[in-house]
Amino acid sequence: MKTYRIAFIPGDGVGPEVALEARLALEACARKFSFAVEGETFGWNCDYYLAHGRMMPEDGLEVLRSFDAVFLGSVGDPAKVPDHISLGPLLAIRQGFCQYVNLRPIRMLEGVSSPVTTATPQTVDFVVVRENTEGEYSHLGGIFSPDEPHGFATQMAVFSRKGCERVIRYAFELARKRKAQGHMGRVTNCTKSNALNYSMVFWDKIFREVALQYPDIENDYLLVDALTMFMVSKPQRFDVIVASNLFGDIITDLGSVLQGGMGFAAGANLNPEKEFPSMFEPIHGSALDIAGKGVVNPLASIESARMMLEHFGEEEAARALLAAEQEVLAKGMVRTRDMGGSSSTQEMGAAVRAALQAQ
């Protein structure tokens, strides 16, 4: 029997609650579809930092390397550790494991509502492919004479040909796959080359080069500011959006509102070549205000776990889990607080597993 070894990093805040539900969903799929899940939990969070002076052990990446995948709940507790320190390992894993695709589906499921009136299950169904290893997150720069009147800071963005090309190519391949499933077959380039005259002009050039190799896929481009406007006013015009690291970060928070809120926004940090483990995580943060109360919506994490199954090639299990989520949402009997209901995290997770079981 195929066994998948998964490293769970529950993290801070609501992380442990949602990571548990993700794990239970994976285990339920394993039982039904005859594979095994072997999980190991790593308590690398802000409390670990307070005890050890670091967010994860020095050989953390080596430890994770031997797993088939990583599941991350959420990290961050600024009262204990400043965010730019606590989030170091997240970025180190993305970069160190060459997880150059951050795949973030923006899809509204039946039974969910959004404050954006244009958003319906018919209009909101696209995917953001975010560059995840370089761009504006290069960590190059410095703070000079911070307390002097002449003090300044620099932060460099790095756009390499290899880095741009591989993620843009991934977006076109994805659009081709989606087209075969009935989507429109379009990649939209999220850019800002009217102002960023080196990095984004270079990015656009590579986008055009790659696009030429996909004559069957439509391509267009939107400046990121206009793109946010269209995401709200005309979400149905999008199929696959490819974006740099920072722009992808920003537009996927907006996307989460279209799909019904952070409670539904899932993500996968993929190393498509599978040379390293990929990492799956909900987009939401640690939500400290509701942590430990059993009220967080676990669907973003269950969806992220489902993306893990897709990555493993467990297509049948992934489809079944989606159908279970869809059934629970469409029936509307179990609704967490963010959905205007009063069901708990556990009740939502259990309802999805029961629907899966009953299929």
Smallest gap from residue 211 Cβ to Mg ion (A): 27
Sole binder of Mg ion in the list 125, 134, 136, 249 (CB under 5 A): 249
> Which does residue 242 bind out of Mg ion, ligand IPM, none, counting CB within 5 to 8 angstroms by kind?
none
Angle at 296 between CA 291 and CA 299, to 5 degrees: 140
Known catalytic residue at 137:
yes
CA distances from 338 to 143, 326, 344 (A): 40, 17, 11
Smallest gap from residue 338 Cβ to ligand IPM (A): 18
Alpha-carbon distance of 269 to 69, in angstroms, equals 10
Known catalytic residue at 48:
no
> Which does residue 87 bind out of Mg ion, ligand IPM, none, counting CB within 5 to 8 angstroms by kind?
ligand IPM
* Residue nearest Mg ion by beta-carbon distance: 249
Known catalytic residue at 289:
no
Is 249 an interacting residue with respect to ligand IPM (CB under 6 A)?
yes
Known catalytic residue at 32:
no
Identify the active-site residue in 137, 170, 214, 221.
Answer: 137
Judged by beta carbon, residue 249 or residue 347, the one nearer ligand IPM is 249
Smallest gap from residue 266 Cβ to ligand IPM (A): 11
Applying the rule CB under 6 A, the residues between 60 and 89 that interact with ligand IPM are: 87
Determine contact, residues 111/121, Cβ cutoff 8 Å: no
Judged by beta carbon, residue 138 or residue 346, the one nearer ligand IPM is 138
Amino acid at 110: E
> Which does residue 270 bind out of Mg ion, ligand IPM, none, counting CB within 5 to 8 angstroms by kind?
none
Identify the active-site residue in 198, 253, 293, 331.
Answer: 253
Judged by beta carbon, residue 243 or residue 334, the one nearer Mg ion is 243
3-state helix/strand/coil string of the chain: CCEEEEEEEEECCCHHHHHHHHHHHHHHHHHHHCCEEEEEECCCCHHHHHHHCCCCCCCHHHHHHCCCEEEEEECCECCCECHHHHCHHHHHHHHHCCCCEEEEEEECCCCCCCCCCCCCCCCCEEEEEEECCCEEEEEEEEEECCCCCCCEEEEEEECCHHHHHHHHHHHHHHHHHHHHCCCCCEEEEEECCCCCCCHHHHHHHHHHHHHHCCCCCEEEEEEHHHHHHHHHHCHHHCCEEEECHHHHHHHHHHHHHHCCCHHHCEEEEECCCCCCCEEEEECCCCCHHHCCCCCCCCHHHHHHHHHHHHHHCCHHHHHHHHHHHHHHHHHCCCCEHHHCCCECHHHHHHHHHHHHHHC
Smallest gap from residue 282 Cβ to Mg ion (A): 11
Identify the active-site residue in 225, 234, 274, 293.
Answer: 225
Applying the rule CB under 6 A, the residues between 5 and 44 that interact with ligand IPM are: none
Judged by beta carbon, residue 64 or residue 90, the one nearer ligand IPM is 90
Smallest gap from residue 24 Cβ to ligand IPM (A): 23
Applying the rule CB under 6 A, the residues between 228 and 247 that interact with ligand IPM are: none
Judged by beta carbon, residue 29 or residue 93, the one nearer ligand IPM is 93
Sole binder of ligand IPM in the list 37, 171, 175, 283 (CB under 6 A): 283
Smallest gap from residue 231 Cβ to ligand IPM (A): 16
Known catalytic residue at 225:
yes
Where do contacts with Mg ion occur on this chain (CB under 5 A)? 249
Q: Which residues are catalytic?
A: 137, 192, 225, 249, 253
Interface residues with ligand IPM (CB under 6 A) are 87, 90, 249, 283
